[in-house]
Amino acid sequence: MTAKLEDNPYTFLRIINPEFDKSRKTKPNSPERFGLVRDKYAEFIKDGILLQDNEEHLYIYRQTKDGHAFTGVVGGASVQEYETDLIKKHEATLTSRESMFTNYLDIVGYNAEPVLLSYLHNIQIESLLHVYTASRPEYEFTTTDRIKHELWVLDESQTEALSNAFGQLDACYIADGHHRSASSAGLKKKRVNEGRSHFGNEDHFLAFFIDESKLKILEFNRIVKHLNGLTSEQFLQELQKYFSITPCSPKLKPTKEHTYTMCLQGKWFELSCRPEIIDDSHPVKCLDAEILTQFVLSPILGIQDLKTDENIEFTSGAEPLEVLEEKIVKGKFSVGFVLYPATIEQVKRVADHQLIMPPKSTWVEPKLRSGLTIYHINE
- Sketch out the chain's domains with CATH numbers: 2-46 (no CATH), 59-214+365-376 (3.90.1530.10), 217-341 (3.30.1760)
pLDDT of res. 244: 98
pLDDT of res. 23: 73
Range in 7-21, 254-268, 352-366 the model is least confident about? 7-21
Angle between helices 123-132 and 156-166 (to 10 degrees): 160
Q: Which residues of 174-198 are buried (b: 16+ CB within 10 A; e: fewer)?
A: bbbbbbbbbbbbbbbebbeeeeeee
Contact assessment for residue 362 and residue 219, using Cβ atoms and an 8 Å cutoff: yes
Nearest-angstrom CA–CA distance, 191 and 28: 23
Task: Give the pTM.
Answer: 0.92
Range in 25-29, 84-88, 156-160, 284-288 the model is least confident about? 25-29
Dihedral over alpha carbons 22, 24, 28, 29 (to 10 degrees): -90
Mean pLDDT, the chain, rounded, equals 94
Q: In the predicted model, what is the mean pLDDT of residues 307-335?
A: 94
Alpha helices in 259-299 (DSSP H): 288-292
pLDDT of res. 1: 63
Range in 1-5, 107-111, 189-193 the model is least confident about? 1-5
Nearest-angstrom CA–CA distance, 297 and 136: 51
Q: In the predicted model, what is the mean pLDDT of residues 243-266?
A: 94
Nearest-angstrom CA–CA distance, 170 and 7: 46
